[in-house]
Amino acid sequence: MLAVDAEKQLGAFVLSVKFRATRGATALFGASGSGKTSVINMIAGLLTPDRGAISLDETILFDAGKCINVPPHQRRIGYVFQEGRLFPHLSVRQNLDYGRRMSGVPRDGDEFARIASLLDIDRLLERRPGHLSGGERQRVAVGRALLMRPKLLLLDEPLASLDAGHKREILPYLVRLRDDAGIPIVYVSHSPAEVRRIATTVVRLDRGQVVATGGIELLKDAEADVFA
Amino acid sequence: MFGLSPDDWTAVELTIRISIVATLCALPFGIALGWLLARRNFWGKSVLDGLVHLPLVMPPVVTGYLLLISFGRRAPIGAFLYDHFGIVFSFRWTGAALACGIMGFPLMVRPIRLALETIDRKLEQAASTLGANRALVFLTITLPLALPGIIAGIVLCFARALGEFGATITFVSNIPGETQTISAAIYTLTQIPGSDAAAGRLVLISIALAFAALFASEWLSRRAAIRFHGD
């Protein structure tokens, strides 16, 4: 279980969030600029909170009081960025293998084949990221994060840079991931339609504050706000 | 071959050896300094930047003279290196390599620094979330992505070393078989009446070397581009 209780001054507003995420997919949902990405950057260790604590299962990842701040490379948290961030000088296969090699996970051909086929990227292995479509790139990014055997998967608007067709292409993979992989997922999005498909829990953010936590019924209020 | 005398060939061989050694020894420092200038902010950064570029704007003879009074056998650094490590620079080919390395250094640092500045830092962040510590991020992401700039720096430094004259001749003189490079040999030949043909042959050799270096760099950067973008 992931427990976040952290504060960070971000320019004009203070990001102050407190929530827990268990199995299944927790959506951080809110308008652009509400601090969603900053929250998962804090979980991944890319952004250091000013105050508070973050823990995953029994491991304390960050605790301002105890001066604990585990560096990102020791957190074992898979992070799928909005823009994929595949390494351009490596092939798809090498990209997929990167996290596994760097995390010291032994090679497991079956696991590799299973995830490559789950994400339908097994035909692309020898290509370079520059020769992939947006949807293919995001699927490789998801595979790369999964193959390091993460304890938690962070997805930062993984569909935002894609057109509607590609979104429809990837969403089913993410739903399968949620149900098959058994890893808790934190999913950042500002799209109610996406969140409804994926999330089991919704944490609504507004200007850096958690305004509501609950099931996907929270989305109705959000849409009501939008159309009010 | 090509009507060159054994002495001429010695000069050619020496020039290539000096240039290769100068470039290879400068490379780690070039990468370290390029990284420092591209990535770090510290007190005195502009002074360091100026120092690195100094050999580019100073008269080469001045650089050679400064080397002489600091790396000569009885000069402070030179005496220290000789007493503790037995390393001698003055009037040796190693001194020529030192002079060439320093003259080529600013040309090497610049493209490396520019390449490091253009690397998307987000890729390094991504690598760290995938379990790579800082050293591994540098070796597996930063360096390979900076490779085109590193190749450019190597080629520029090497080319500069091939043609170095002023600093070398001031620091280690013009000793055939030890410090007489192609440039110094051509200069010597121009002082001897009736040596135009010999000088001309060395001139052709140096033009050929320069072209070879250029072609090699073109080929290497094209290969680097293929590695990056598939084909």
**How would DSSP label each residue in B173-191?**
---TTTT--HHHHHHHHHT
Chain B neighbors of A89, CB-CB under 8 A: 144-145, 147, 227-228
CB-CB neighbours of A187 under 10 Å? 29
CB-count exposure of residue A213 (10 Å: 0-12, 13-18, 19+):
middle
| CA-based nearest residue to A171, from A148, A150, A147, A189 | A189
Chain A neighbors of B131, CB-CB under 8 A: 73-74, 76, 99, 102-104, 148
Q: Do A102 and B136 touch (CB under 8 A)?
A: yes
Of all residues in chain B, the one with the smallest CA distance to A46 is B125
> What is the mean predicted confidence (pLDDT) over B134-154?
93
| CA-based nearest residue to B32, from B155, B120, B178, B153 | B153
Q: Do B129 and A127 touch (CB under 8 A)?
A: no
Least confident among A31-40, A86-95, B36-45: A31-40
DSSP class of residue A159 equals: T
Distance from C-alpha of A18 to C-alpha of A10, rounded to nearest angstrom: 16
| CA-based nearest residue to A43, from A59, A62, A67, A21 | A62
**3-state class of A145 per DSSP?**
helix
Cβ partners under 8 Å of residue A40, min gap 6: A28, A79, A154, A156, A186, A188
Distance from C-alpha of B136 to C-alpha of B123, rounded to nearest angstrom: 13
Total-model pTM: 0.86
On average, the pLDDT of chain B sits at 90
Strands of A25-29's sheet in order across = A68-69, A59-63, A51-56, A2-10, A13-21, A209-214, A201-206, A25-29, A185-189, A152-156, A77-80
Q: Where are the beta strands (DSSP E) in chain A?
A: 2-10, 13-21, 25-29, 51-56, 59-63, 68-69, 77-80, 152-156, 185-189, 201-206, 209-214
Check residue A74 and give its pLDDT.
93
Q: Does pLDDT of A227 surpass 50?
A: no
Look at A224 and A27; give whichever has higher pLDDT. Answer: A27
Check residue A228 and give its pLDDT.
39
> A51 near A6, Cβ under 8 Å?
yes
Q: Do A88 and B141 touch (CB under 8 A)?
A: no
Three-point CA angle A24, A30, A36, nearest 5°: 70
Check residue B187 and give its pLDDT.
92
Check residue B2 and give its pLDDT.
63
Of residues A44, A128, A148, nearest to B229 (C-beta): A128
Of residues B125, B229, B230, nearest to A46 (C-beta): B125
What percentage of chain A exceeds 70 in pLDDT?
96
Q: Does pLDDT of B194 surpass 90?
A: no
Considering all CA atoms of chain A, what is the largest pairwise distance in Å, rounded to the nearest integer?
54
Check residue A211 and give its pLDDT.
87
Q: Per-residue pLDDT tens for A150-207?
A: 999 999 988 877 777 777 777 887 888 888 777 889 999 888 888 888 888 899 998 8
Least confident among A152-166, B13-27, B112-126: A152-166
Distance from C-alpha of A165 to C-alpha of A154, rounded to nearest angstrom: 23
Q: Do A128 and B141 touch (CB under 8 A)?
A: no
Q: Per-residue pLDDT tens for A26-74?
A: 999 888 888 889 999 999 999 999 999 999 988 999 998 899 999 999 9
Distance from C-alpha of A222 to C-alpha of B206, rounded to nearest angstrom: 74
Distance from C-alpha of B75 to C-alpha of B71, rounded to nearest angstrom: 6
What percentage of chain B exceeds 70 in pLDDT?
97
Chain B nearest C-alpha distance from A221 (Å): 35
Of all residues in chain A, the one with the smallest CA distance to B226 is A89
Q: Per-residue pLDDT tens for B67-118?
A: 999 998 888 898 898 888 888 898 899 999 999 999 999 999 999 999 999 9
Check residue A221 and give its pLDDT.
62
DSSP class of residue A105 equals: P
Check residue B222 and give its pLDDT.
84
Q: Do B230 and A46 touch (CB under 8 A)?
A: no
Residue B66 φ then ψ, to 5°:
-60, -40
Q: Could you tell me if A133 lies within 8 Å of chain B, comparing CB atoms?
A: no
Q: Does pLDDT of B231 surpass 50?
A: no
- Of A183-192, B32-41, B221-230, the range with the highest mean pLDDT is B32-41
Q: Per-residue pLDDT tens for A23-34?
A: 888 999 888 888
Q: Could you tell me if A143 lies within 8 Å of chain B, comparing CB atoms?
A: no
| CA-based nearest residue to B184, from B192, B176, B195, B196 | B176
Q: Could you tell me if A72 lies within 8 Å of chain B, comparing CB atoms?
A: yes
Q: Does pLDDT of A224 surpass 60?
A: no
Of all residues in chain A, the one with the smallest CA distance to B127 is A99
Cβ partners under 8 Å of residue B120, min gap 6: A85
End-to-end CA distance of chain B: 41
Q: Could you tell me if A130 lies within 8 Å of chain B, comparing CB atoms?
A: yes
Distance from C-alpha of A177 to C-alpha of B12, rounded to nearest angstrom: 64
Chain B neighbors of A130, CB-CB under 8 A: 228-230
Q: Does pLDDT of A109 surpass 70?
A: yes
> What is the mean predicted confidence (pLDDT) over B155-165?
92
- pLDDT tier for residue B228 given thresholds of 50, 70 and 90: low
